[in-house]
Every structure is written in structure tokens, then in C-alpha cells.
Amino acid sequence: MQRIVVLNPKGGSGKTTIAINLASYYAQRGERPAIMDYDPQASAARWVRKRQASQAPIYLINAFEKDNRVTRAYQLRVPDGTRRIIIDTPAAVEATEMPELVANADKILVPVLPSDIDIHACARCITSLLLVAKVKRAENRLAIIANRVRRNTRMYQSLTRFLGTLDIPIVATLRDSQNFVRAAELGLGLHEMKHYQVSEDLQCWASLLAWLDEPSGRAAVAAAAGNAGTTGNAPAVAGPLLFA
């Protein structure tokens, strides 16, 4: 079972939009995904409840709720046969909370919007993941999504320059599209909408979905070491980022 964590302490970065669209995609493929919603706003939970019985099933875990009648492990249990679990994290996550959130994650996605405030928040988030949560670049677990982008704008150019300094893969650049809003209102994902309506948006998701299927963790480190041994050169790994 693959665990995908969508994380950025900055509210409004598009975490839930990415989480529900991933769940929709995997549901369409018959992979029986689950969404674990840690956000007290419960946006992902409301989206799941909008879905019709005729749609591909997505299991919901209300992780933001605490039930003293059962153990926490029982409350967060995942049904047998689940192949993908997408974890929608809340805003305002402290650096000290990140190790627990990402400890068992196979993939970690950090969405960032093209604004000065969001760029600074993303820098702090990446720093915390590298230095506090001890996520290693070589494990191929951590990636960035440039979200709600309008190309040919000054802020997009600033975002591109910033992301280029991180030495973290940018696995998708998602455009600022009303299709995400329309889909969410209907309890759908982009991959469940009519193709001609969302074809441009779907193209933006191809690289993200391909990266999620790549090896991560120890398998990725072993693969990188093998490639380095073949070429005779050690892979270049930048030092940790430090931002004020």
C-alpha cells in the first residue's frame, strides 16, 4: 500500500484539491484508494460524501475527529485491499509535527502558489522536512507541485526561479483552472469529467502520476547507488537549505 502525504503548513495552497483528484484517479483505476482527512475544515470529507453510489468507491477516514471510545489505531485503520492512501494534512502544521506525519510516507507532495507569501512558506516547509523530519533527497520521496499557475506572469517567473534553487523535483505545474472548482462541487475528480472539457488540465497531471509510480525510500537509494556505480560518478546532493 502506498501512502501519499500532501503537506504545506500554509493554508490555501491547494492540498485538498490535489488529494481528492489523486483519489479520484486511483478510484477510476480500481485501486480502492482511501483519503485520510486530518484537516478540521473537513473539505476532503465533504467531497467524498458528495459522491454517488454509482461512482468508483473512495474510503474516508476522518482523522481530524477524536473518538475516546476506540483506540487511535482503530480509528485510523485502513480497509483490506486498499492500494493507495492519500493523506490531506491541515494548515498550520508545526515543524515538530512533521516527523510523525511523514514517517511512513512513500511520497510527500508540497504544493506552492505563485506569491511571495507562499514562496516563503514553502521554503520553511521544505527546510523543516529536510532538517526536522529528516527526509532525504536521495530517497525520491519529496516533490513540489507548482499550483494555480498563470504562465507569462511576473510571479510565475519568480516562483520558477525559487523552485530551481531547491534541488527538489517539481513534478507538476497545474494551471489556474475553474475545472478543479466545478469537479469538487460535483464530488468528481478531473479524471471523471468529460475529457474534452479537461484535456489541458489532465496533461499537467501526467508527470505527477508518473513520479508517484517511481520507487522511493531504500529502493530509490539503491537504484541511485547502482546508477552511480555504472557511470563511475557519485550523485550530486546539495546541502540542506536554510532560510530565514
pLDDT in tens, the chain (244 residues): 999 999 999 999 999 999 999 999 999 999 999 999 999 999 999 999 999 999 999 999 999 988 888 888 888 999 999 999 999 999 999 999 999 999 999 999 999 999 999 999 999 999 999 999 999 999 999 999 999 998 888 888 889 899 888 889 999 999 999 999 999 999 999 999 999 999 999 999 999 999 999 998 767 776 766 766 655 543 333 333 333 2
191: DSSP letter: G
The label of the residue with cell 483528484 reads 21
Is there a contact between 73 and 25 (Cβ–Cβ < 8 Å)? no
**Alpha carbon distance 220, 99 (integer Å):** 20
Is there a contact between 212 and 145 (Cβ–Cβ < 8 Å)? no
**Alpha carbon distance 48, 180 (integer Å):** 15
**Alpha carbon distance 144, 98 (integer Å):** 16
Give the pLDDT score at 130.
96
Give the pLDDT score at 151.
82
Measured CA to CA in angstroms, residue 25 lies from 33, 50, 228 at distances of 9, 16, 34
Nearest to 91 by CA among 10, 145, 5, 4: 10
Residue type present at position 159 = L
**Alpha carbon distance 244, 196 (integer Å):** 45
- Sequence-distant (≥ 6) Cβ neighbours of residue 172 within 8 angstroms: 145, 146, 204, 205, 207, 208
The whole-model pTM stands at: 0.88
For residue 119, give the C-alpha cell.
Answer: 514562496
Sheet holding 34-37, edge to edge: 59-61, 34-37, 84-88, 2-6, 107-112, 142-149, 170-175
Q: What domains sit in the chain, N to C, each tagged with a CATH number?
A: 2-231 (3.40.50.300)
Give the pLDDT score at 243.
33
Nearest to 234 by CA among 138, 134, 130: 138
Other beta carbons within 10 angstroms of residue 146's beta carbon come to 22
DSSP 146-181: EEEE-TTSHHHHHHHHHHTTS-S-EEEEEE--THHH
